[in-house]
Structure 1
Amino acid sequence: MKKMFLFFILFSLFVNAQIVNLIIIDVSNSLPIDDSDVYFKKSTKNFVSGKEGKAIVDLSNVDVTDELIISKKDYQDLIIKVSTIKSDLNVRLRKIPKIELEETVVSNLKPVDVLKKVIENYEKNFNVDKYYFLVDLTQKYKIDTVYESFINLDLQFKFDKGKVKVKSSGEVKNKYEKGSSTSDLTFETSDYFKHLYLYEGFKLMYKNLLKNEYINTKLVFTKYADKPMYEVYLDKSEDEKNYLLIDKESFSVVEYVLRLKNEIKTNNNYPLQRDGVMSFKYRPYLDSWVLKESEVKFTMNLVEENKEDIKIDFLYKIQTFNFDTKPFPKFMRSINLNRNIKNQF
């Protein structure tokens, strides 16, 4: 009986050791660092730290010879051997000295030159078509104070340039609906997925640069994942601002953020004024970069005839937590992207 009791204790310790809590803080001020990338050198799993600097890392099925890498733009990478991780960790990141950033790159390149290189190397660098992605998807929208819709689930994505196939295991992690909608406005996500293939958008930016259509352009240098990076800022107006983080060596886009304030037409042809951000982020894997996450977050105002304006808060976010060259088991149910995903569960 004593041997059996000891066995269960050891088994429990082994299972618990598969999940490790990381707290990531700034060494200079001891403040937590959010949105840090936590990933492995060889394993395809990846994680992101939250507002309190916490990242929950799953070590199951990770080779003990692998390395855990913690990265944040403008900070030095921290690398930890998996074999040395025995329990929860508090880790400290140190900012890269400004003089080191300034000396990282000496170049006469301009934003138009860098963007041209991005386009020339895009097909080689953009690996979204190569993998099946397991993503955590969150969709939430709120209409005034009278209606709220939310769904959170895991999905499998397979991209083919401007096309995407999505499959589900049929399981939903969380879903709710509160109140009743005052509008029959629907949100289609098919166009959003097309934008995950950013090639055409970058070509348009390049043409706009050649036509001098940006009121402000800037190129600066930084580091991410211990690699020199270009930061490109392109402001077309006060209501349209583009930011790109670009790997200096491969000219691969590591991050793209569009801040946008404009007006579009709804499915009922009513004006929809929107103000928010679209972002796309990638993580290093071996000698390339792969999709890490994307988010659309808008505050909107719907103007309908003979009605009071309707305020809408919209969030759509996908975050990759694993990827592979082969499809994942259990994800067999096809999802129709021309219909609201929430209505299919």
Structure 2
Amino acid sequence: MLHTPLIEQHRQGGAKLVDFAGWEMPIQYTGVVDEYHSVRTHAGLFDVSHMGRVVVSGASSASYLQYVTTNNVTRLSVGQAHYSMICNDRGGIKDDVFVYRTNETEFLVCVNASNLRKIVDWMQQNRRQEDACTIDNRSTDLAQIALQGPTSRAILASLGAADIETLKLHHCCDSTVSGIPCFIARTGYTGELGYELNVVAEKASLLWNRLLEAGRGFGLKAAGLGARDLLRLEMAYLLYGNDMNEDITPLEAAAEWTVDLEKGTFIGRDALHRQKQTGTSRRFVAFELLEKGVPRHGFRILDPSSSHVIGEVTSGNLSPLLQKGIGLGYVEIAHTKPGTQVTIDIRGKLFPAHIVKPPFYQRLKAGPKTTSS
């Protein structure tokens, strides 16, 4: 099994370790829900070093990434980042990625751990003759630590992180945290104020320990993948392998905003353009149960009037804030409008639910109302 540079910190911290995409990773420390609440109210510290980090550099780095990703890379200024997709020729999602522009001719691409080898090979295979750029897999050289929650900025400021007060969402910069050089991005997977810190692997343990020590007075706790999954579910963020794969397109996944069909040629463009014109037969939706129950990946979604199967749950759990079952999935296009009644088949028992407008968490912050409007 693979290990991040922080494996000893997890063991010493009493984490429950599990196999995640071939990596031995912490699923929880004090408990999934406890860690979830820490992030929502104070801050949580996550090891996300299992994620892949690929540096694309050279004179043609921007034009190359325009070709292999769906979003418009030329719109990124230095120090800016965006969410994007890497698609196959059929428009199916090979991976969802974050692209950071670190200077005029260099980009950092963050990919999912389970897809790293596949994506690096795909990027190498699709480098055209005119692409004057290098593709460097830096995943083992760098560690990545996510500091997420309302007090995350104050924690970093207390450790001397320069420019942290003015760093905008989806922007990044070089800085130092407690004297340790880091590449900091204001990105994350929780819906809270947060930062992702990339640091050389040899300094990861020192940075982790100093963050935990400095963050103690700000309510910081180490957190595992269980809390991270709950947090991202409440934001209705896509999880590769659950909510998308190579047979699902960004248009079906309600992520058409990551696709710029006007930017020119890119892999998958023709298929996505055709689908844009003809429409999709299914679409990604969010739903809430109307009775107590917990939806899970693979459960069927039914039309309550006919009991016809109209889709499938891809992610689901009990929301700690809403105190009700929430989920994500794909349904036939006729059943996608918020307010539409559906039925979730949970191990043979039928539970009423309705389609809602995501995200769940933001809707709760706006007030106590939790039904669609």
State the TM bucket, normalised to the shorter chain: under 0.3
| Structure label with greater radius of gyration | 1
TM-score by length of 2: 0.25
Which structure has more helix as a fraction of its residues? 2
Q: Normalized against structure 1, the TM-score is what?
A: 0.27
Higher normalized strand content (fraction of residues): 1
